[in-house]
Structure 1
Amino acid sequence: MPTGWFYRLKAAQRDLITRCGGIKRSAEIASLSQSQMGRFNNDGDPELMPLPAVLMLEHECAAPLVTAIMAELNGRRLADNVDAAELANASIMASHAEVVVQAGELMAKGAMAFADGRLTPSEAMGIDRQAASLERAISDLRHAAANARAHGLSVVGGAK
């Protein structure tokens, strides 16, 4: 039964128990027996901590140790809460950069297509596809601009 993911979870459980003050204190916090908490702390025991116990202990030590491993095992990662203004700033800056990239690609596609003085159906289709990509990027930028306007925008290192 045990594989790499199992040992990652067991290690996170051990760290969580340690941060909460050891087996006895963790058992009290999670309303479980000391022997059960001891099994959660033992690499050789196949028992994993129930979710309510994980949540109570993570809350106690203010560290999502087991939750972070569960997220990682599912190809995700946890992020700290970021305020809406920071998200709006990052979004509009990334969206603007994407518009610039897409516009550049459209100009390059057009320049290559027009270089020989003729436009083939295939080249026209390529220009249309790139124009559609630029259109999507512009739409995303407009959405990001509206969010930035709603939450306020501050440019790091801007003029004072």
Structure 2
Amino acid sequence: MSVETYLKKHSEALVKDVGIEAACKLTGKSKATLGRYYSDQVEHDDRFMPIDVVAQLESASRFPHVTSALADLRGITLSYDADKRNATSKGVNQDVVVLAQRFAMLMSEYNTAISDGVITVNEAKRMLRETLAIQQVLLDMKLHLENGVS
């Protein structure tokens, strides 16, 4: 996957995380404009989401999709603290349990996805959501280990 495609996929995930209607209202951009930022059509190859729009959307999202993608492209690991989908962690021991649970959910999604031998776009998106949830649990665990909390 090219860098451009990678960034467009994460831009799309960001808009869908916030919700298209809410993203339009928050940024003042139309659905068509937001759609062009992550479109894989040739005529939109050179269109990318402006950084101010990324900042506005990431302030309302559950996960910093584009920032994370940019960091990933540079080999940087992000660490942050925000509201989580999982219960508030009480330490590394609980993090390990939550990690195992999220991994089991990812494997369940994978098993369902490959049952017919083809992973559809929707199945891939569900697996991506679980992968992102695992990433968040790992970030929580990292913070607890850095802070010496067990």
TM-score (norm 2): 0.50
* Aligned equivalent of 2:118: none
Which AA in structure 1 matches 2:18?
C
The alpha carbon displacement at 1:85 in A equals: 8.0
Displacement, 1:76?
Answer: 0.7
| Distance in 2, Cα, partners of 1:77 & 1:53 | 23
Q: Which TM-score applies when normalising by structure 1?
A: 0.47
Does structure 1 retain, via aligned residues, the 8 Å contact 2:11–2:66?
yes
Structure 1 residue identity aligned to 2:80: D
Aligned to 2:33: 36
Cα 1:42–1:85, aligned 2, differ >3 Å: closer, same or farther? closer
Once the two structures are TM-superposed, the CA of residue 14 in structure 1 deviates from its matched residue by 0.8
1:49 and 2:49 correspond: yes
| Match of residue 109 from structure 1 | none
1:18 alignment partner AA? K
- Extract unaligned runs of 5+ from structure 2: 82-139
CA distance in 2, matches of 1:38, 1:72: 23
Match of residue 10, structure 1, among 8, 11, 21: 8
- Superposition deviation, residue 84 in structure 1: 8.5
Paired residue type of 1:17: V
Q: Unaligned 5+ residue runs, structure 1?
A: 90-153
Separation in 2, partners of 1:30, 1:42 = 18
Between the aligned residues of both structures, percent identity stands at 23
Which amino acid counterpart does residue 20 of structure 1 have in structure 2? V
CA displacement at 1:15 relative to structure 2: 0.8
List aligned pairs for 1:50-89, cutoff 5 A: 50-81=50-81, 86-89=145-148
Does the 8 Å contact 1:17/1:41 carry over to 2?
no
User: Structure 2 vs 1, CA of residues 87 and 34 (structure 1 numbering), >3 Å: closer, same or farther?
Assistant: same
Which amino acid in structure 2 is aligned with residue 37 of structure 1?
A: L
Cα RMSD, aligned residues only? 2.5
In 1, Cα distance between the equivalents of 2:72 and 2:25?
28
Structure showing greater radius of gyration is 1
Single out whichever of 28-37 and 80-89 deviates more from structure 2.
80-89
- Listed one character per residue, the Cα deviations across residues 122-141 of structure 1 (whole Å, up to 9, x for unaligned) are xxxxxxxxxxxxxxxxxxxx
Aligned positions, number? 88
Q: Tell me the distance in 1 between the aligned counterparts of 2:10 and 2:38.
A: 9
